[in-house]
Structure 1
């Protein structure tokens, strides 16, 4: 890790930006700065290399002038500057948390661009020792899928995998259509998945035709196509709640609910297929209805066969439309305004990697299409490679009905007609 003169000069050249955006101080904060020993305050644990999309965590050690004294909250700021494009990190990419019973802070950030970037950590206008420092982010190679990257998983607990998702702690949930259950796994060693739990659809949690699954924070959602409902379960299998009651087109009612996805704010999106729309529910507030978007047609923001939904790192909402051969993109908040679309042949399940590549199953051709990450402040993505073809051997697919990616970038694919899972480690 380096903090050479070129980086120091870069910080100096950007002093106006830093003052305007990071270092606005109040009178009380100026007073606090006189209590800090800046010569002994420093950052530690910061990696000098990381993957794009990987969460990087380090510690900011703030030393008081008087040993064992408590400083209270100080104005600690962090910023990431990407050399290649000149972009700066967005606020949602940086999290700062005070460590209890100490004067130190845990800082996390997510690099979003390939190449070198600079991290600055300041307390009330003063750099901590080690700041600024340079780090490098690199991308996984999603263009050249090697045969050794594929691993096939056949498990007697799964008869007909029909959907898949991964959770915040890398748990893997597989929707088994014929056995009427969710099968939970955790990844152990390479090529090994360990069965951890089975959630049977019975009693209050009974589901007739499960179509998709989404794993949120300590909760699992499953859509029931025929009963026009979405059921919620705890990760241990305990039934929690039902969204929807009877078939209809009012808010909170469904006609053939299909794809599901959670965003970072724990909003659950449900593709309401035969109502040609997507509905949103706030799982932090008793699963209340909180929005809808879309209508029938082939125009901007319209659907003819909306199927699956996913959100990217910015919480933009992507909905696949199999008949209109496109992926519609909607804003993250408010009325979820239509932003644009991406043409794609018979798109079916959709997922995003930690470094924001978009993976889309091609229903007609039994392959996986890989799209580039977008540039900052843009939704546009471009097809960079097509992976696989119809078949039953390793790296071939037959009816992909689920794609999920964990925090490590491992891609899990559920194949209904091959009755198996494949996962790809890049």
Structure 2
């Protein structure tokens, strides 16, 4: 009997690809593998297929420390146009920069020894990080409830959000995203269950999503952890952590729409559910990659589909093998769509090569 995926397609094509690797084919016509391998989809002109065995590109498994080749609870990732990797280390209170192919990082925000404080040169439990085209680094400094801007090459940061005034007060900043066309900064205000927007140079922010208390309705958020600005749709993609879903908030609308997970707060291990998703990102085709943290897996949701495909990790299984995670917190893609995962409790960044 054909799967539902087959029933929705008028065109079928057999493949010789191994069942051991997740394969997603994006072509102009629907393309599927044999019925037993219904995790193959299509919609563009790019084949998406990754090794399921990760390569450690930063950190050393089960080792914690402040040395340049070690990490301590990596929770945020960013990759610039040169495929340079930036890692926000929660417990080391710093952001490390790793050039492509290098296992030793350099500290680009905070101090290398991980001192925790609220000065212009220190951070306190940084979570999210993003980098603009000029190499300026924006850090969600969660323990200080602020966002710090570290200009390219600077030895200290400046506060661009969260200075404590009534319209700029934040409560645990977790995620940051930048609209480069308008130079607007978006902040996931985790403890206040809302997303705030800050225009360049503004002393206060404006509410763009949530802010109606904890809840599951379409005007509320529940601990938003990561955000992504999607220019083609002029929308924010939000990891709505304890609502166990990923939602889209178009800036011209007043309510969000569901991308992945449930609308009623249900968590689970099925291909349509998530469990405390913390991080996510998009590829140029609009597909969404989710760090399904408590399920210890990375889920891919093709544009317009509510059923996810596990492309890394094993559902519900935590571990330190090269094909497993222990609480993946962030995901990022480089220019070749290789997948990077912040494997927090294993203190490492894993790379899954696309081929």
* Shorter-chain TM-score above 0.5: yes
Deviation at 1:310, TM superposition (A): 1.6
Q: Is the 8 A contact 1:114 1:139 kept in 2?
A: no
Task: Quote the residue 2:184 is aligned against.
Answer: 267
Match of 1:303, SS state, is coil
Which residue, out of 62, 75, 85, partners 1:162? 75
Written as runs of structure 1 = structure 2, the 5 A alignment for 1:78-157 is 114=43, 137-141=45-49, 145-147=50-52, 150-155=54-59, 156-157=67-68
User: C-alpha distance in 1, partners of 2:203/2:150?
Assistant: 13
Deviation at 1:313, TM superposition (A): 5.5
| 1:320 maps onto 2:239 in alignment | yes
Task: Quote the residue 1:359 is aligned against.
Answer: 289
When residues 415 and 272 of structure 1 are mapped into structure 2, their CA distance, relative to the original with a 3 A threshold, is: same
Written as runs of structure 1 = structure 2, the 5 A alignment for 1:11-30 is none
Question: How many residue pairs are counted as aligned between the two chains?
Answer: 282
Task: Quote the residue 2:325 is aligned against.
Answer: 397
Q: Is the 8 A contact 1:199 1:236 kept in 2?
A: no
When residues 291 and 151 of structure 1 are mapped into structure 2, their CA distance, relative to the original with a 3 A threshold, is: same
Task: Quote the residue 1:213 is aligned against.
Answer: 129
Could you state the TM-score of these two structures normalised by the residue count of structure 2? Answer: 0.70
Match of 1:274, SS state, is helix
| 1:254 maps onto 2:254 in alignment | no
User: C-alpha distance in 1, partners of 2:291/2:142?
Assistant: 21
Q: Is the 8 A contact 2:290 2:299 kept in 1?
A: yes
* Structure 1 segments unaligned to the other structure (5+ residues): 1-51, 54-81, 86-112, 116-136, 375-379
Task: Quote the residue 2:269 is aligned against.
Answer: none
Match of 2:48, SS state, is coil
Match of 1:226, SS state, is helix
Which residue, out of 193, 200, 205, partners 1:276? 193
Q: Is the 8 A contact 2:110 2:156 kept in 1?
A: no
Task: Quote the residue 2:114 is aligned against.
Answer: none
Q: Is the 8 A contact 2:52 2:313 kept in 1?
A: no
| 1:204 maps onto 2:127 in alignment | no
1:106-138 residue CA offsets vs partner (Å, 9 max, x unmatched): xxxxxxx955xxxxxxxxxxxxxxxxxxxxx32
For the aligned residues, what is the CA RMSD?
A: 2.8
1:345-402 residue CA offsets vs partner (Å, 9 max, x unmatched): 121111112333211111221111111124xxxxx55413353131101021012122
Task: Quote the residue 2:265 is aligned against.
Answer: none
Higher relative CO (Cα under 8 Å, sequence separation at least 6) belongs to: 2
User: C-alpha distance in 1, partners of 2:109/2:349?
Assistant: 18
User: C-alpha distance in 1, partners of 2:93/2:308?
Assistant: 36
Could you state the TM-score of these two structures normalised by the residue count of structure 1? Answer: 0.60
Match of 2:153, SS state, is coil
Task: Quote the residue 2:9 is aligned against.
Answer: none
Bigger Rg, structure 1 or 2: 1
Match of 1:364, SS state, is helix
Deviation at 1:151, TM superposition (A): 0.9
Written as runs of structure 1 = structure 2, the 5 A alignment for 1:278-297 is 278-283=195-200, 285=201, 289-294=205-210, 295-296=212-213, 297=215
Deviation at 1:194, TM superposition (A): 6.0
Match of 1:152, SS state, is strand
Deviation at 1:277, TM superposition (A): 0.7
User: C-alpha distance in 1, partners of 2:292/2:89?
Assistant: 21
Match of 2:295, SS state, is coil
User: C-alpha distance in 2, partners of 1:396/1:83?
Assistant: 33
Which residue, out of 166, 173, 186, partners 2:99? 186
When residues 416 and 320 of structure 1 are mapped into structure 2, their CA distance, relative to the original with a 3 A threshold, is: same
Task: Quote the residue 1:244 is aligned against.
Answer: 162
Task: Quote the residue 1:42 is aligned against.
Answer: none
User: C-alpha distance in 2, partners of 1:399/1:193?
Assistant: 22
